[in-house]
Each structure stands twice: as structure tokens, then as C-alpha cells.
Chains A and B, each alone.
Chain A
Amino acid sequence: MKAQKRRLKLLLILLILLVSGLLLSLLEGSVETSIKDFWDLLFNNDKTHAIIFELRLSRALLAFLVGASLSLSGAILQGYFQNPMAGPFVVGVSSGASFGAVLAIFLGLNIYILGFPLQSIFAFASGFAIVSLIYLLSQRKGIFKIETLLLTGIAAGALASALTSFFIFLKSESYEQAVFWLLGSFALSDWTQISAVFPYFILCFIVAQFLAKDMNLLALGDDTAQSLGCAVNRVRKIFLVISTLLAASSVSVSGIIGFVGLIVPHWIRILIGPDHRCLFFFSSLAGGTLLVYSDLLARTLLFPTELPIGIITAAVGAPFFIYLLNQRR
């Protein structure tokens, strides 16, 4: 089978890229570490252990998880809206989620409800509000319009970003905070953040994979899907919830990292076709790998200072977005 061979090839390439990206992330940093240090790590040496294990490894894995979450979220949204230009950033979910997180911080609500930090709950709620708004607006006219999706997303995202900046300005006047929430960073990653994102990702991934067949049916149109045994309404709702959950959990640990959820699923679809059963898996893998490399660039490009990672993903993603728009004409 040609298609299968193709997927296998892509899987191999992605895995090699990912492993070498992770290794590079462990070896590169503002403190020079050699391969020898790496071996030492297995035995003792507290200092190198802290640098490689606590800082670099947690950072690389968090970058991977966030990249995978955003890409999966994007793959779901693109399938949902049947539009390659959808994505958590374009649709405005990311901005909405970051507004929720900042609002929770502004209100000083550092509490947990049923084990969930309120910050994530706020992020999810305001991200979900934006998705719902877009969903309602796109449904109202009967026929679904790309312009409605994109323009509503842009407007809602801009509003959310403005509100984010407003609350940051009110509270701390700290430029750093604004940069973190609006452009993203993994500079302060740690293992607790990984444990905050990982369960959401796994849960959403399993659910998405489970419903991937239904997503394929949705591509035939809701009526056809319904007649083929897909519970369209329920499936749509579930997809909307998990795509928001993925984006919100990512944003609440890393700030907004744009365009990953847009370009990766789109590019994977070109490579392996539109079957969501494979698309979800490959998008996650490729998105995670892309962010591992982006973060590597973010922290080494302007050494010893760091770049916000959103600058790098936007530098790659925005031209790609324009290219997509042009293609559709």
C-alpha cells in the first residue's frame, strides 16, 4: 500500500527529528555541557543534574506537549469547520484562554476547585466562550462562511488580547508579564507544569482518536453523517470541548504560541491525506517536534537573552497563513 508506506516514512522521519531535537535540547544551553556531562548525569553531579534534568528536559518535554496539544486542537478545529485556516490561534481560542488565565491572576484567585487550578478553569471558560460565539455566528446564517469564521476569530482574539494587556497593565505594569501571555515562553517550565498539561493531552487525544471515524463522516456533510450513524450533534459538541481544553491547558502554562495549530495539521494533511484516524496522531507528533525546535531556537538565537517563542512560530506561521489565503483565491 502506497499510503501506508508513506505514513511509515513520515513516522520514521518525525521520530528521528523528535529524538534528535530532544537530545539537542538537553545538550544546548547558556551553560556549556558536553556529552561527558551527560554521562556523568547518570551517576552523580548535582549541578549538571539540575541543569539537564530540571531545566532542559522539563522544558523540552513541555514544549513537546504544548506543541502536540495545539496541533491536535488545530487538527480538530480544521476538521470541525472543514476549513484549513482554522486553528486555536486564528479562531481566537488561544487569546481567549490567555485572557481567562490573566483575569484569574488579576483577581488573585490562586485556588483549586476539585483539584483543578482556577486559572485553568478560567482559561478554559473564556476560550470556550469565544469558540461558542464563533460557532453560534457561523450557524445562524444557515450556510457556513469562511469569512465569518476568520473575521469573528480575529475580532474576538483582538478583544481578548486587548483585555489581557489591560489587566496586566492595571496590575503590575510589568512588560515581562505582557510578553509572556501574548507571545509565549517556556523559560520557567518545570515538572509540575508538565503534570498539569499531560493528563489533558492524553485524555483529549484518546477521545479524539476514538471519534476520528466520526470526524471523517462529518466531512461528508452533517446530513450524510447522520444517516450513516454518526450522532452529529453530540460528536460536534465533544470535539468543540476537547479542542478548547487542549488549547486552554497549553496556554495556561506557556502563554499564547500562535500558528502551530494552524500550519502543522494543514501540512500533515497534504502529506498523508485527510483521514483523521492518522491525522490526529501525526499532527500531535509533528506539532510537538516543531515546538521542541522552535524553543531551541528561542533560547539560543539571541544568546544569552531569550526570545519569546511566539515570535519564532509567528515568523514561520504568518507567511504560511498568507500563502494559504492566496491559494484559496
Chain B
Amino acid sequence: MIIKKTQAVFLIFVLAVPVFGIQNKIIIDDLGYSHVIDSPPKRIISLAPNITEILFALGLGEKVVGVTRYCDYPREAKQKEKIGGMTNPSLEKIIALNPDLIVGFQGNTLRILERLRSLHLPVFAIEMGKTIESVFLIINTIGAITQKEEIAKILIQSLKNKYAKIQSALQDIQHEPKVFITLHGMGLWTCGKDSFIDDLVRKAKGLNIAGKIQRRWLPYNREQLIHEDPEFIIIISNSQEEFSKTKEWIKKKAHLESIRAVEKENIYFLDANLATRPGPRIIDALDHLARILHPQYFETEK
């Protein structure tokens, strides 16, 4: 009898395996490695601020056990264990946190992602893309690997709705003003075609004067800047203080007085945390930028 019982149990087990097997989806990450999705991850490490924001937005805050030292949003993320910077995380810390999922991106450098993989850690690498639409893809992918597809769908839909609203507000625009985007500081660093901030400017109906250059970040030539004569200068900074400093420098010491943006004081602040992170708040960045470039199209809605 006992034998029969165990046989029965065995039979159930065998029958059940394929059923569970169907649920074991395989997802291939952007480096080409496959990941089997079985039980939902319980200990997640994020290797970038935008990934952290997405994880929290998907309601996975509790499951996040480690973040980079740049991960400051939402506020709860600051309480999490820090694993170091994006390009020089402490491998020891990562191992010690005992993660069952590490989400990284190509900017962590391939060397680090490969090293983590060689330590048999569950790394999932994401390509960040160059457009606002790629943010939806990233959210979708992270939703899939963490088995939060439903919440991801809802999040993406609400972002798309906001996005559509901005697009419809801007649809009649004929004149796209020339824009110079710059990082705070005195380097005149700007972003070229390969940066998704370039896409942000385009979607906000502006013309990035460095948009023809095939790079992500580059220091812009001052003569070229005067020649292009942008109507707007957007300073990407972490704080109002940094912004004011850079603005003062551009107005008084940078010898850029002849530029239209400086003449009319069309120099504006854009929060670096919004604009440089392809996460859920990217649409807010787009909204801010669109309102800076085309305030008249948003006046009526208040």
C-alpha cells in the first residue's frame, strides 16, 4: 500500500511538472543571456537610479536589498544598503547581500556585468535605449522578470496617457526653437544624438543644436555655440544652487552675451534627476521642458 501511495505521489509530481514548466518562462536579456523566470525575486539589487525608481514604482520597494549611492528616489531608496557607484560597485557587498536578481545596464560597463556573471550571480542586463519610448520597454522588461506584468502595464498606460496629453498640446507648433542643453558647471558639456535627452528635446518640439553629433555627452565648442545662436539654454543641474551658479557664469563670464538665450535671459533649470534617468519620471521631465519651450500652449489648461 505504501508503495502505491508513493507511486501516486510520484505520478502527481510528474503530471504537475509540465504544468509548472509552462510557467517557467525564459527571458533573454539585452546581452543575450537567458533567464528562467520561476519564483518571484525576493532580494533585488539595482545598479542604476532609474532601475531603482522603476522597481519602486512597480511596488517592489520591499524586495530591493541594495542600490547604488546615486539612488535617492523615492525617499525610501536612500535607506537601502549601498553597493557603491554605478561603474565601481563593491563586488563583495553584492555577494554579501545574497541577491536573487541584479538588474544592471550597459553603462555599468560590460566588464563589471561579465565579472558578476562569472561569480554566478543572477545579473539581468538592460539596454537603456535612446528614446522616451524605450523607457516603456524597460519598464515592461523589468515587470516581466519580477513577475509584475500587470502593474507594469498599468504604469506604462498612465505614462503613455500623460505623454499623449503633452503631444496633443504641442501638435500645432510650427516653430521649433533652437535649444542648447548643458550640464551645470563650466565645461559647456552637452548631449548629442546618442543621448535620450536629445530625444526629449525633439519630443518637446525643440531643436537640439548638438543633435547632429553622434555622441552621448561632449563638451561643446564655444564658437559653434555663438554661431548657432540658440533661443534657449537649459541647464541640467542637481539643485537650484548649482543652476544659479552656472547661469551667472554663462551670463557674465562665458563671453556668450551675444546669444539670444542670454540676451533674453531664456536660461532655465531642468532637474538632473528627472532628465538624466530613463525611468517613470521621464514624462515629467518632458512636461517641464515642453512648458519651458512653449509656455503659451499650456496656459489654457490651468
* Residues of A participating in the B interface, judged by any CB pair closer than 8 Å: 29-31, 47, 50-51, 54-56, 173-174, 176-177, 187-188, 190, 192, 304-306
Is B160 part of the contact surface with A, judged by Cβ < 8 Å?
no
Q: In this complex, what residue of A is CB-closest to B218?
A: A173
Selected from B85, B98, B118, B218, the residue in CB contact (under 8 A) with A305 is B85
User: 9 closest Cβ contacts across the A-B interface?
Assistant: A31-B96, A31-B92, A176-B87, A30-B90, A188-B115, A29-B92, A50-B95, A30-B92, A51-B92
| Complex Cα spacing A234 to B37, Å | 62
Known contacts A47-B95, A51-B96, A304-B90, A173 near B217 by CB under 8 Å: yes
Please give the residue numbers on chain B whose beta carbons come within 8 Å of chain A beta carbons, in ascending order.
Answer: 82, 84-85, 87-88, 90-93, 95-96, 98, 109, 111-112, 115, 118-120, 215-218
Which residues does chain B contribute within 8 Å of A47, judged by CB atoms?
A: 95-96, 98
Shortest CB–CB separation between residue A296 and chain B, in angstroms? Answer: 14
Say yes or no: B91 contacts A55, CB within 8 Å.
yes
User: Once the chains are docked, how many angstroms separate the CA of A177 from the CA of B96?
Assistant: 26
Q: How many residue-residue contacts, CB under 8 A, span A and B?
A: 52
> Across the interface, do A306 and B115 meet the contact criterion of CB distance under 8 Å?
no
Q: A29 CA to B96 CA in the complex, in Å?
A: 11
Q: Tell me whether A55 and B95 are in contact (CB under 8 A).
A: yes
Contact partner of B109 (CB less than 8 A), chosen from A51, A55, A173, A177, is: A177
Cβ contact of A51, chosen from B95, B112, B115, B217, cutoff 8 A: B95
CB nearest neighbor in B for A174: B109
Q: List 24 A-B contacts (CB under 8 A).
A: A30-B90, A30-B92, A31-B90, A31-B95, A31-B96, A47-B98, A50-B95, A50-B119, A51-B95, A55-B91, A55-B92, A56-B92, A173-B218, A174-B87, A176-B109, A177-B109, A187-B91, A188-B112, A188-B115, A190-B115, A304-B84, A304-B90, A304-B93, A305-B84
Asked if residues A190 and B92 are in contact (CB atoms below 8 Å), the reply is: no
- Measured between beta carbons, the chain B residues less than 8 angstroms from A55 are 91-92, 95, 119
Q: Are B92 and A176 in contact (CB under 8 A)?
A: no
Closest residue of chain A to B107, judged by CB?
A174
Least distance between B222 CB and chain A CB atoms (Å): 19
Residues on B with C-beta less than 8 A from A304 are 82, 84, 90, 93
User: Per a CB cutoff under 8 Å, which of A29, A173, A176 touches B88?
Assistant: A176
Which of B88, B109, B112 gathers most chain A CB within 10 Å? B88
Given contacts A173-B217, A176-B109, whether A306 and B118 have CB atoms under 8 Å apart is no
Distance of A318 Cα from B152 Cα, bound (Å): 56
Task: With A54-B119, A176-B109 as known contacts, state yes or no: A305 contacts B92, CB within 8 Å.
Answer: no
Query: Which A residues are CB-close (under 8 A) to B88?
Result: 176, 187, 305-306
> Cβ of A31: which chain B residues have Cβ within 8 Å of it?
90, 92-93, 95-96
Q: Bound complex: CA of A188 vs CA of B91, how far in Å? A: 8
| Residues of the A chain whose Cβ atoms lie less than 8 Å from the Cβ of B85 | 305
| A42 CB to nearest B CB, Å | 18
For the complex formed, measure the closest distance between the CB of A178 and the CB atoms of chain B, giving whole angstroms.
12
Name the contact of A190 in the complex, choosing from B84, B90, B109, B118 (C-beta under 8 A). B118
Whole-angstrom distance between the alpha carbons of A192 and B111 in the complex?
13
Q: Chain B contacts of A173 at CB under 8 A? A: 215-218
Residues of A within 8 A of B84 (CB): 30, 304-305
- Measured between beta carbons, the chain B residues less than 8 angstroms from A305 are 84-85, 88
Question: Chain B's nearest CB lies how many Å from the CB of A94?
Answer: 20
Q: How far is the CB of B220 from chain A (nearest CB, A)?
A: 14
Known: A31-B96, A51-B95, A304-B82. 11 other contacts (CB 8 A): A30-B92, A31-B92, A50-B119, A51-B92, A55-B95, A173-B216, A173-B218, A176-B88, A188-B91, A190-B118, A304-B90
B36 to chain A, nearest CB (A): 20
